[in-house]
Amino acid sequence: MTPLPPAYFGLEPAAVWQHFGALNHIPRPSGREDAARAYVQNLAQNHGATWQTDARGNLVVRVAARGARPDAPIVVMQSHLDMVCQKRPDVTHDFNLDPILPRRDGDKIFASGTTLGADNGIGAAIMLAILTNPPARHGPLELLFTVEEETGLLGAAHLDGELVRGRLLVNLDSEEGNEITVGCAGGATTNLFLPVEREKVATGFPIISIAITGLAGGHSGIQIGENLGNAIKILGQILDAGSEDCPDLRLISLDGGTAHNAIPRDANAVVCVPPEQIGAFDAAFARISGEIEAKWRAFEPDLRLECEEVGVPGSLFPLSARHTAQVAGLVRDLPHGVAKMSARFEGKVQTSSNLAEVHGELDSEEITFSVSNRSFVADELHEMQQKVADLGRATGARIEARDGYPGWEPRGDSPLLHTAMRAFESVMGKAPHIEVVHAGLECGLLCEKLPDLDAVSFGPLIRGAHTPEEWVSIPSTAENFAVLNALLKRLG
């Protein structure tokens, strides 16, 4: 057993934090879940359970009933094994090799400058605690661990339906603590690949580095309606202002964002301008940075805008004037933020976009853009994808519309929901909130794969998912574990 990190000493339920600590110790970015899966398989074998995997690497662990009535239904509990890998720029961390280093602050668990992986490691740990420390009574269980959730719900999309026999699903990938989720938005990502030409410019053009850092970032679905800056969009404002006052500005490289489902925290560009326009550029940067500061300072207190002359090369091959304008135009025009609020679900975002990534290296002949869209309405999701594709085609970009995932429609009459509500009330002393979420949950895909599936989703309070500020609540984890135990007892 992996030694328990000090951050978890004395926490209850002890089994949950033991397993979460073990998962923290195992690198598990999307597509590299082998070691985490092996950890689960080992536990299953050591506790008398059986397991089975499908071709994609999804894993189900089958646990025999304990003290249950003969007709107790199979209950499927489900979490994903992978995590979003984000870190602060000043932190050295290899997510393929290094363990997550947890720290405790009051009643919260954080990581040390990286994502914590409570999304969805805490759900997986709760399931494993049920396996190793089972409640006094429960029916037959199937513990379903999916893979590659954070890269587009790919594990669930390729799940072999024969792997799962139960038709009552408890997804443990929600983040509100006192809520039961009964529906979610669908989502899809569109990538643009813009071919660019480079031209040699005269000797003596100064090179200028522009950096946007320190933004909070956030979950591109759950937090898209909050006042969170997008580093790529802010960089685009600076490029626009610089180009207006310096018509001969040329873009050399740009880079921003690291994941389709995270609001970009950092972005940078390298440009060059003729020596006689450097003063005008400096003035434009001072003007626009002041406007950006005024807009964002109250919401993004750690925002930093940096502009530095980094050298004067003998020869240089920036983008042509036409392609500099096209790239800057796409950064400006590609949608980001809330497109429409829901009329059906008060206070919920219905349709949104996240300008998630842009990449173009110093010598690249192609600039890539990635935009993630979400919506509760399939037609609106398609319309947003079409808008992104049309903007790309207008510049000559190649379009790649990645396979999306469906929304999860709330079920009109859910016996499982009613039982879960009673379990919540018995533990919490009050009724839970019933909500839908503007984020992707695997329940939508699982409902397509498994006919007649009755599903609910809940989980401990998590904030800052997909950012290095991610934390999970210690007391909420204990409450949700108790709720799950109460639910299993009622269903058994």
Known catalytic residues?
Answer: 82, 149
Length of the chain: 492
**DSSP letters along 289-357, please?**
HHHHHHHHTTT-TT-EEEEEEEE--S-B--B-HHHHHHHHHHHHHS--EEEEE-SSSTT-EEEEEEEEE
- Mapped onto helix, strand or coil, the DSSP state of residue 439 is coil
Rounded Cα–Cα distance for residues 4 and 20 (Å): 9
The alpha carbon of residue 170 and the mean position of all alpha carbons in its chain are separated, in whole angstroms, by: 20
Strand, coil or helix: 19? helix
Angle at 288 between CA 285 and CA 292, to 5 degrees: 125
Which residue matches tokens 């398989």?
Answer: 41
CB–CB of 364/384 below 8 Å?
A: no
Q: Is the dihedral of CA 386, 388, 393, 394 positive or negative?
A: positive
Q: What is the dihedral of CA 253, 256, 258, 264, to 10 degrees?
A: 180
**Residue 319, token pair as written in the block:** 């983008």
Q: How far apart, in Å, do the first and last CA atoms of the chain sit?
A: 30
Q: Cβ distance 488 to 135 under 8 Å? A: yes
Kindly report the CA angle at 87 between 86 and 90, in degrees rounded to 5? 160
| DSSP type of residue 248 | T
Residue bearing tokens 């979490």: 79
Residue type (1 letter), 86? Q
Q: Enumerate residues 6+ apart whose C-beta is below 8 A from 225.
A: 337, 338, 349, 352, 438
User: Are the beta carbons of 176 and 460 closer than 8 angstroms?
Assistant: no
Return the structure tokens found at 404.
Answer: 């999306």
10-31 burial, b if ≥16 CB within 10 A, otherwise e?
ebebebbbbbbbbbbbbbbbbe
Give just the sign of the alpha carbon dihedral 12, 15, 20, 26.
positive
